[in-house]
Each structure stands twice: as structure tokens, then as C-alpha cells.
Structure 1
Amino acid sequence: MGLAMFRLACTLAVALTATTATAQQWADRMFTEKDVDFGAVPRAAKVEHEFVVTNPYKEDVHIASVRSSCGCTQPRIENDDLKTHESGKIICRFNTRAFTGQRGATVTVTFDRPQWAEVQLHVKGYIRTDVVLDPNHVDFGSLAEGEPGDKKIQIQYAGRNDWKITGVKSDSPYVTASVKETGRSGGRVGYRLDVKLSDDAPAGYLNDQLVLTTNDRRATQFPVAVEARIVPELTVSPASLMLGTVQPGQKVTKQIVVRGAKPFSIVDIRCDNDYLKFQPSEEAKQVHLVPVTLEAPEKPGKLACTIEIVTDLEDAKSVSLRATGQVAAPLAGK
């Protein structure tokens, strides 16, 4: 009996280990990368990295928590509930204000649905004290689509009198930069970094970085974060209009919101089906609330159409959204 119990315990232990390993692999596959090295970064600079996590499975995924082994890295979750093919982010900020020197952290991401698993991410970098940025990153703020941006940053170095910035590299085709020396005396060197955002930058959030190269052989380069929010000239919400499940002949009214950077009028609303009716205002204003009424057809089945809202803005600027729904089979006795 003792031998039998021992064999059973061994079998259960192996099964548990295999299940844990499978769950771990399942979670690992949602990440395309799990390690980042920031290299040498200036003191107090804004330094972040986004680890993207994508759900390739049929089940919904929930990120329960995230924690760091060191105060030098502050993690946070962006979008903790992930449906099939949806993505979220684990954003890790390097705490360059409170820490200096070589630092590293293990960031543990815990999942509790559809099953428990943990994934470990690794962050490291060297926070140098001889280079300071003012302000600590390039922030263009909110700009209208088509509007250029121009920002300046002061760079101060303390150390060798022959220290130089030898170049600036940008990975973004919309961001250009140049440096100009502003002072050199007693081991202190100053530069001004001029950064420009082109007027053809696409709408949305821009999160990028410049890489400045130097003649310092111990730390040949350091990054400068660049941020901007390009506000589109015209937006519509929701991005997708859900009509729900309705009975044949049923009427349902929803509302869409159309926003512009300046007052505008809606001149036409086009739809490739006739079961949707619209009631736009003829008044010119920045925000339009447009009632959308569904008159469900008699035939059961899926509903899907593209709605295009045409305005009097330059070049008849328009915005589109997709409307979807379902007409149920008639109730018994109807």
C-alpha cells in the first residue's frame, strides 16, 4: 500500500508540473519580447518601455496584477481585459529621479483568466548623473492634424571639458532634431536640442525617442523621449455602432457623436442599406449628436453596413464607421 501511494503521489506531482509548465508557455506566447536594456540614460529623464501582450486565443484573458522587484522600475497595465486578438501593454517606467548607477528589475505579470500563470519581464539600464535634461523629455502636447510642432530642450553635462554631442538620430520620419552648443567651461558643457514635428504626422499618439551620440567611450549614446497627441480634424464615436439583437419590424434608436477641430456642417450621410434612418442637424458646430434609427427588416439574419458622414470641411472631409446587428427569428405565435 505504501508503494502504491508513493507512485500515486509521484504521478500527481508530474501531472501538476506539466500543467504548470503548459500554463506558463501559454502565457509566454502572448509576449513578443520580455527583456529591455535602456543603456545609459540621463538623470531625471523620462524613460519608458512598452511590453505588448496580445491574446491569440479564443478565451478572454485577464491581467490580474503586475509587480516589480525594485523601486527603480514602476510598472503599470494598459488594458487588462483582452478578447481574442486584442492587445494590451505593460508599461515600465525607469525611476531615473530616485536612483542612479546600474539598475535592474524583474517585473512579474500575473494572469488569472482563463487560468493562472505568471510571466517575468526584465528591465535594466545605467542612470548617469553627469547628464541632465531640462525639461526631461520632448512633449509637443496636443496638436491639430496638419499642425507642425517645435520644442527645445537644454542639455547640461558635468565632467570632461572635451565632452561633445556628435549626432542625433530619429527613428520617426515625422521627427527631426539638431543640437547646438551653448557653453563650455570648467568641465561643464551645455547644448540646446531643437526638435521639430512635421505637419504630415498622422493622427493619434506619437511615442518615440531620439538617440544622441557622444564622444564618451564609456557611454556613447543616450535617449530622449518624444511624445505628441495629433488630434484628427474629424472623429466619430463610437468607432463601431452595435445595434444589438432585434425582432423583425422593431425600431431601435442609437446615437453617434461627430466632433471636429472647428465648427462644421453635415451635408450628407450615406449608408449602403435602407434600414437605417438619420436625423442630422443642419447647424454648423464642433460637436454633432446624430440620432440613428434602425427599422429592422422582416427577414432574420445579420445586419452590417458602413455609414459615411460627409461634411462641409475642406475637400468634403468625411468620417466612416461600421454598424452591425442581428435580426432574430420571429417569436412563436407572432
Structure 2
Amino acid sequence: MKPRTILLSLMSYLAVTATAIAAPEYSVDHGSYNFGTVTQGKKVQHSFTIKNNGDATLQIKQLTASCGCTAATPSASSIAPGKSAEIKVVFDSTNFSGKVQKTVAMTTNAGKNPNYTFTMEGIVAEELQATPRQISLGTMKAGVPREVTVTVRNNGSTMHRLISATANSNSLQITPKIPKQNIKPGESGTVELTIASRSEARILSGYLHIVTDNPQKKEITIPIYGSAAK
């Protein structure tokens, strides 16, 4: 084989080898974020940093959030070698309470680990928190009323008002009363219930509806259940 032919073959081989070796790889600086405790209704925003440590362009193909309450947006979908991008994640806590964890799955063209999952977690505190969340009456005798109190605590920073309380049930007679409608931050109000079983009822069930001036939770619904004594 002529030297020139050998040289061209070697150069072609090296070019193919270099192309095969070149690949994007990434690193993530803190892939999880704990937002602590937030009041229900607040939107939590955090940006994760991803860096391309490879020698080819990194492509962010897809970002998939675990639910519709979470949105994820990359600052760039193509990241050159040595460069970084931000993944902005926004979590809407409106319909959540207690401990929550939300994830965003990322798909890339990286050679070794194309998939990665970002995590956001924390505690969502209800601005108006009702206790108990459900009322268990146990066994009730017809004609023997029972007094039950529901406490509504204001965990927010502004005063809220309990506008009204109503109940619906085919098996129970429920009379609600609100002694204190205006609740200051850090204080609690109450809804007092007088509950009696209808004589023909066997399975007892109903709902208490508390209407508030809180735009994030305009109504608090509490199920009521029990059984009739034989």
C-alpha cells in the first residue's frame, strides 16, 4: 500500500474514532431542593443548574413534571461543551397541604446517563386549617342530639372571615352555628354543630360546608359519618 493511501486511511480512521468518542455529558449542582414551609396557595420557584462536561452539544429533549401543579422550563435546550443552563421549576401549592414532594424528569442526549430527575419538597401549611378534617359520630340513638365543635385556625398573615356554615344530609339533622366569624392571624374560630339522627336512618352521613373569604380556599368541606343504634 502506498504511503499516501496509508496516511489517508489513518486520517479517516482517526476522524471516525474522534466522532464516535465525542459525546455530551452533564453534571447537576444540587438536584434536590427543600423549600421548607410555605402557606397554601404560594408558588414556589427554584432554578437548578446543569453543566455540559462533555465535548459535544448537550440537548435537553424533554422535561416532564410529576403533575400539572409543577412547570419546568430550561433557559436553553442546547448547551455547548463547558457551558451551563438553568432549569426553572415552579410549584403551585394551591391544592396541597402537609408534606409534599414533586419531581421533574429530564431526558437528554447524554451518552452515559441520558435521564435525570429533579426533586422539590417541603411542607404546605393551610392558611385556614380545619380540625377535625372529618367527623366520626360512632353510634347514635335517634332523638339524642350530639354537640360537635370544628376549629378553624388562621395560619396566615391577614385576618380572615368565616362567612357561613351549612350542612346537607338525608340521614342527619345538622344545625351549624358560628360564634366568632373574624379570625386574626394565629387565632382560631369555631363552628358549633348540633347533630341528631333521623329515626328512619341506618347509615349516617352528611357534609359540613364552611364558606370563607380566603381566595385560595373559599369553602372547607368536612364529611360527617356514623351509624344508627339498633
TM-score range, shorter chain: 0.5 to 0.7
Counterpart in the other structure of 1:254: 148
Deviation at 1:140, TM superposition (A): 4.1
Counterpart in the other structure of 2:104: 209
State the superposition RMSD in angstroms.
Answer: 3.6
Q: Which amino acid aligns with 2:193?
A: V
Q: String of CA shifts for 1:201-246, please: whole Å, max 9, x gaps.
A: 64353522231413x3333332323436555554433332111112
Partner Cα separation in structure 2 for residue 285 and residue 320 of structure 1: 21
Percent of pairs identical after alignment? 14
Counterpart in the other structure of 1:78: none
Of the candidates 219, 222, 227, which is equivalent to residue 318 of structure 1?
Answer: 219
Partner Cα separation in structure 1 for residue 116 and residue 144 of structure 2: 62
Counterpart in the other structure of 2:181: 282
Partner Cα separation in structure 2 for residue 327 and residue 167 of structure 1: 59
1:150 pairs with 2:49: no
Q: Does structure 2 conserve the Cα–Cα contact (< 8 Å) formed by 1:179 and 1:191?
A: no
Q: Does structure 2 conserve the Cα–Cα contact (< 8 Å) formed by 1:203 and 1:229?
A: no
Deviation at 1:156, TM superposition (A): 4.5
Matches within 5 A, 1:2-13: none
**Structure 1 245/235 Cα, relative in aligned 2: closer, same or farther at 3 Å?**
same
Counterpart in the other structure of 1:306: 207
Matches within 5 A, 1:72-151: 131-151=26-46
Q: Could you say what secondary structure the match of 1:236 adopts? A: strand
Q: Does structure 1 conserve the Cα–Cα contact (< 8 Å) formed by 2:129 and 2:154?
A: yes
1:291 pairs with 2:186: no
Q: Which amino acid aligns with 1:137?
A: S
Q: Does structure 2 conserve the Cα–Cα contact (< 8 Å) formed by 1:152 and 1:192?
A: no
Q: Which entry has the higher C-alpha Rg, 1 or 2? A: 2
**Structure 1 217/192 Cα, relative in aligned 2: closer, same or farther at 3 Å?**
closer
Q: Does structure 2 conserve the Cα–Cα contact (< 8 Å) formed by 1:258 and 1:288?
A: yes
**Structure 1 320/275 Cα, relative in aligned 2: closer, same or farther at 3 Å?**
same
Name which of structure 1's ranges 230-239 and 251-260 shifts more when overlaid on structure 2: 230-239
| Structure 1 gap segments, 5+ residues each | 1-129, 330-334
Give the aligned length.
194
Partner Cα separation in structure 2 for residue 290 and residue 198 of structure 1: 32
**Structure 1 200/243 Cα, relative in aligned 2: closer, same or farther at 3 Å?**
closer
**Structure 1 257/267 Cα, relative in aligned 2: closer, same or farther at 3 Å?**
same
1:245 pairs with 2:139: yes
**Structure 1 291/200 Cα, relative in aligned 2: closer, same or farther at 3 Å?**
closer
Counterpart in the other structure of 1:191: 84
Q: Which has the higher contact order (CA 8 A, sep 6+)?
A: 2
Partner Cα separation in structure 2 for residue 317 and residue 300 of structure 1: 31
TM-score of the superposition, structure 2-length normalised?
Answer: 0.64
Partner Cα separation in structure 1 for residue 177 and residue 116 of structure 2: 55
Q: String of CA shifts for 1:32-64, please: whole Å, max 9, x gaps.
A: xxxxxxxxxxxxxxxxxxxxxxxxxxxxxxxxx
Q: Which amino acid aligns with 2:181?
A: E
Q: Which amino acid aligns with 2:96?
A: A
Q: String of CA shifts for 1:154-179, please: whole Å, max 9, x gaps.
A: 33555x34353434412344312214
